[in-house]
Amino acid sequence: MAWTADLTNDPHNDFRLCIDVMEGDRHRATINRNSTGRLVLTVYPSENGSFDVPVEWLSGILAAAERDLTI
């Protein structure tokens, strides 16, 4: 399945801009700003509901993995 990221409006957050992350036709995540202005990634589904991951932190983790998990 192809992954896409689409800029859209969030109907659950006063129609503020967000990015929907899709895998094919499955909505996998949303990137938006939380109430403190931090950029977060909300991932779906989860056994315990949705959860927010700070994008700055995730970006650092991904950069470290790219560097440290070389083939």
| Domain range list for the chain | 3-68
Work out the pLDDT band at 1, boundaries 50, 70, 90. Answer: low
Q: How far apart are CA 69 and CA 47, in angstroms?
A: 28
Closest CA to 54 of 23, 27, 33: 33
Contact (Cβ atoms closer than 8 angstroms) between residue 40 and residue 30:
no
3-state secondary structure of 39: strand
Q: What residues contact 30, with CB distance under 8 A and at least 6 apart?
A: 10, 18, 19, 20, 21, 41, 42, 44
Q: What is the pLDDT of residues 5-44, one digit of tens each?
A: 888 888 888 888 888 888 888 888 888 888 888 788 888 8
Confidence of residue 56 (pLDDT cuts 50, 70, 90): confident
